[in-house]
Amino acid sequence: MKHLQSSTLQLRNLTKRYSSFVALRDLDLDVPSGSLLTLLGPSGCGKTTVLRMIAGFLNVTSGEILVDGKDISRVEPNFRDIGMVFQNYALFPHMTVESNVAFGLKMRGVSKQEQATRVREALEMVQLTHLADRYPSQLSGGQQQRVALARAVVIKPKLLLLDEPLGALDRHLREGLQSELRELQQKLGITSILVTHDQEEALYLSDYIAVMNQGRIEQLDSPIALYDRPKSEFVARFLGVPNIFDAKIVTSNGREATLSLGGQLIFVSDAEGQSAGADCKVSIRPSHIEVVGADDPREGISGTVKNMHELGERVVYRTEVNGLLIEANAPRNNNRDRYAVGKSVKLILDPAQTIVLRA
Ligand code: ATP
């Protein structure tokens, strides 16, 4: 985290109850100024609830929402100085592109002249100047979403909330708009919160990702840190790591440790806080396991190839190690027979990439 940077948005002990159901419990979150933070998590974990409370569409049960240090949790949505983009565009159908973008400025009593200048700038930013006179029904989905983005940023809000903004677009268009969105967000330096189901989108767009689980934040990290070092089994599974196993710490010197996995020894270079004899879970991505011949002299664990698939540039092996099914990726090579189904192989796990998870 960038500790020196101030935070535009701070959530303090934010709690939301829907009658007896607690959707969010004592949530704390700081969003550094100018950064884009993504709320990521399975359906029902509370992402939309957080976003709607920040926007003011939902009442806060208890806790604070601080924007630039001021609690806005009781302020009417229109006075919160927040721009919002929704999945379903939510443009006014009877207004032209230009009037849609000008709407927020008009509501704020901005002079006609300044409205015209700012609308022009906003439309230039999203490259839609040539469509200013069209109505939303005469635009493609991607174009409508660019108008929604222009409409949200034209008021120069303190915060930009993005609720699955690209969710309704097809994959190809989505990828194009992802890079436009990121560029615009960085250029404007606008503090933004994104809600998405799409992990790749989150990894690509975010400065920080908060993975949520049942109304709590499981892990808050940069995309790379989250991808490389999930801290809990929930996060590792949510990020699609197939290899998560029970293990036991055999020896530990405080940081490095030897673990027993499927009755064989593996090494871990960062097992801080774990002591010998403790049960734990480990996770390792398939790309951090090397598959070599059983006679390879290096240290590794022995297994048998259960199945293999060629996927473009790589081969995916599923190997059995004393009842555990361990997945490994290898670059495609010409020596396929060596690791055919039924063959004995050795798996070399990268100690730096073998992660001991929080229970
Ligand atoms: P999704 O990705 O499916 O949109 P989400 O992470 O955004 O899910 P929320 O919509 O924030 O989840 O919902 C969080 C929890 O609160 C869910 O269990 C949901 O069923 C519950 N919930 C949401 N709105 C209400 C409501 N009006 N009354 C009761 N429970 C609600």
Q: Are residues 147 and 249 in the same domain?
A: no
Q: Which of 180 and 260 is assigned the larger pLDDT?
A: 260
CA 90 to ligand 1 center in whole angstroms = 21
Instruction: Please work out whether the CB of residue 196 comes within 6 Å of at least one atom of ligand 1.
Output: no
**Cα 152 from Cα 335, distance rounded (Å):** 56
Shared-domain flag, residues 190 and 280: no
Give yes or no: residues 28 and 125 share one domain: yes
- According to DSSP, the residues that pair with 8 across neighbouring strands are none
Would you say residue 142 lies in a domain?
Answer: yes
351 lines ligand 1 (CB under 6 A): no
Q: What spacing in Å lies between the alpha carbon of 226 and ligand 1's midpoint?
A: 24
348: Cβ contacts below 8 Å, ≥ 6 apart: 289, 290, 292, 296, 298, 299, 300
Asked whether residue 47 falls in the same domain as residue 101, the answer is: yes
Residue 106 belongs to domain spanning? 7-237
Q: Which of 203, 237, 271 finishes a domain? A: 237
- pLDDT tens across 63-93, in order? 999 999 999 999 999 889 999 998 876 899 9
- Kindly state the tokens that stand for 96: 């032209």
Give CA–CA dist 296/292, Å, rounded. Answer: 6
Q: What is the pTM of this model?
A: 0.89
pLDDT at 352: 94
Coil, helix or strand at residue 22: strand
74, with CB counted inside 10 A (0-12, 13-18, 19+), is exposed
In order of 1, 86, 164, 206, 216, the CA distances from 221 in angstroms are 7, 25, 20, 10, 15
pLDDT for res 337: 56
Task: Answer yes or no: do 88 and 170 share one domain.
Answer: yes
Q: How confident is the model at residue 62 (pLDDT cuts 50, 70, 90)?
A: very high
- Look at residue 359 and tell me whether its pLDDT is greater than 70: no
Average pLDDT, integer, range 164-179 = 83
In this prediction, residue 331 has a pLDDT band, given cuts at 50, 70 and 90, of: confident
Q: Which of 237, 255, 278 is the last residue of a domain?
A: 237
Mutating to test ligand 1, I would choose from 43, 61, 197, 212 the residue with most ligand atoms within 8 A of its C-beta, which is: 43
19-39 as b/e: b if 16+ CB within 10 A: eeeebbbebebbbbebbbbbb
CA of 163 to the centre of ligand 1 (A): 14
Range name among 103-112, 263-272, 303-312, 325-334 with the lowest pLDDT average:
325-334
Residue 1 lies in a domain: no
Q: What is the 3-state secondary structure (H, E, C) of 288-347?
A: HEEEEECCCCCCCEEEEEEEEEEECCEEEEEEEECCEEEEEEEECCCCHHHHCCCCEEEE
Q: Work out whether strand 216-221 and strand 208-213 pair parallel, antiparallel, or are unpaired.
A: antiparallel
Output the domain CATH number for residue 261. Answer: 2.40.50.140
Same domain, 147 and 277: no
Mean pLDDT of the chain: 91
Element (H, E) at 270: none
Number of domains in the chain: 2
Residues 6+ positions from 143 with CB-CB distance below 8 Å: 128, 131
The predicted structure's pLDDT at residue 172:
80
Q: Is the pLDDT of residue 1 over 50?
A: no
233 and 248 co-located in one domain: no
Q: What is the mean pLDDT of residues 97-114?
A: 94
Q: What is the pLDDT of residues 264-319, one digit of tens each?
A: 999 999 888 888 899 999 999 999 999 999 999 999 999 999 999 988 888 899 99
pLDDT value of residue 336 = 55
70 part of a folded domain: yes
Q: Is residue 144 part of a domain?
A: yes
Confidence of residue 195 (pLDDT cuts 50, 70, 90): very high
Ligand 1 atom closest to the Cα of residue 195 is: 7
257 and 108: one domain? no
Residue 78 located in a structural domain: yes
Residues 26 and 85 in one domain: yes
Would residue 2 count as lying in a domain?
no
What number is the average pLDDT over the span 154-173? 88
Does 21 sit in the ligand 1 pocket, CB within 6 Å?
A: yes
**149 and 164 both lie in a single domain:** yes
259 within 8 A of 282, measured Cβ to Cβ: yes
Look at residue 338 in the predicted model and tell me its pLDDT. Answer: 67
- Give residue 2's pLDDT: 44
* Ligand 1 near 47 CB (within 6 A): yes
Same structural domain, 224 and 251: no
Q: Residue holding tokens 């998870």?
A: 357
Q: Which tokens go with 209? A: 């990702």
| Tens digits of residue pLDDT in 216-270 | 999 999 999 999 999 999 999 999 999 999 999 999 988 899 999 999 999 999 8
Report if residue 62 sits inside a domain: yes
Instruction: Give the sheet arrangement for strand 289-293, strand by strand.
Output: 289-293, 344-349, 301-311, 314-321, 324-331
- Span 159-181, mean pLDDT? 86
DSSP 8-state secondary structure symbol assigned to residue 7: E
Domain boundary among 237, 261, 289: 237
Q: Report how far residue 346's alpha carbon sits from residue 49's, in angstroms, rounded to the nearest whole number.
A: 48
Residue with CA closest to ligand 1 atom 18 = 44
Q: What is the distance in A from the centroid of ligand 1 to the CA of 165?
A: 18
**Is 43's C-beta closer than 6 angstroms to any atom of ligand 1?**
yes
pLDDT of 3-54, one tens digit each?
456 889 999 999 999 999 999 999 999 999 999 999 999 999 999 999 999 9
The sign one gets for the Cα dihedral 93, 96, 98, 102 is negative
Distance 51 CA to ligand 1 centre (A): 11
The CATH number assigned to the domain holding 233 equals 3.40.50.300
The number of the ligand 1 atom at minimal distance from the alpha carbon of 16 is 16
169 located within any domain: yes
Q: Are residues 179 and 222 in the same domain?
A: yes
Q: Average pLDDT of 118-143?
A: 93
